[in-house]
Structure 1
Amino acid sequence: MTHPVVHFEIAGSDGERLTGFYRDLFGWDIQGSGPDYWLVKATDDGIGGGVMQTRDEMPAYVTVYVSTDDLEGSLRRAGELGGETVVPPMEIPGTGSFAMFRDPGGNTIGLFRE
């Protein structure tokens, strides 16, 4: 696969509750990673992810992040195919960059570049 899924994200209005829920349900190793964000440690047979507390009127969501070397190019191509940019490219200090788009079915998908 040339663009693998490299991260998942589960977000809701009570990040602490979500973190406890998934830790207790699946035994996930989840550690704090900044204000309102927790990282789910990857395992030998699964990718890592994150749990995020939403802010203001932001709805709960679940999404995946796909690896790409060209965030802008991927967003442009998504637009040509009927998608739309939701979050333009943004840096994650010390980690990489990300962006998000909505596909023609209304799903929000993330892009990640190391």
Structure 2
Amino acid sequence: MTKAPAWFDITARNAERSRRFYGELFDWEIAVDESMNYGLTSTADGVPGGIGETGDGSPHPAGVVLYFPVEDLDGAVARAERLGGSIAVPAWELPGLGRMAVILDVDGNRIGLWQR
């Protein structure tokens, strides 16, 4: 695999409950940023990620999204659309971390793209 996942995101209806579940299941340490209600995982091995909460008006429904690294986010989104995919969440900036977008593949699966 040339493009391994760079981040995972678990979006839950009840983030506190979900963080407790995954923390105990995988023995993860999770540091919660209360201002965003988002917990960053600290895993011994593997892909870094976080657990947040969805709610009314959120573009992120409950579920899991793997983010794959891309060098050109806008180009990758356009390529996905040419291949039959669509945009689920338009590109947004994470100050100091890069830009992300979420697309739907040809089967409706949510896939994240991340340009650092």
- Using structure 2 for the length normalisation, give the TM-score: 0.89
Q: Which residue of 1 aligns with 2:99?
A: 97
Q: Which position in structure 1 is the counterpart of 2:63?
A: 61
Say what the alpha-carbon RMSD is for the aligned residues.
Answer: 1.5
**Gapped regions of structure 2 (runs ≥ 5):** none
Q: Which residue of 1 aligns with 2:84?
A: 82
Give, in angstroms, the shift of residue 17 of structure 1. Answer: 0.6
Unmatched 5+ residue regions in structure 1? Answer: none
Q: Using a 3 Å threshold, how does the CA distance of structure 1 residues 28 and 42 change in structure 2: closer, same or farther?
A: closer
1:4-83 paired onto structure 2 within 5 Å: 4-33=4-33, 34-43=35-44, 45-56=45-56, 59-83=61-85
The residue identity in structure 2 corresponding to 1:24 is E
Shift of 1:113: 1.3
Distance 2:43 2:115 in 1: 18
Shift of 1:57: 5.9
Q: Can you list the C-alpha shifts for 1:46-72, whole angstroms capped at 9, x where unaligned?
A: 111110100216531111000011111
How many correspondences in the alignment? 113
Q: 1:2 offset after TM fit, Å?
A: 3.6
CA distance in structure 2 between the aligned counterparts of 1:111 and 1:74, rounded to whole angstroms = 8
TM-score, normalised relative to structure 1: 0.90
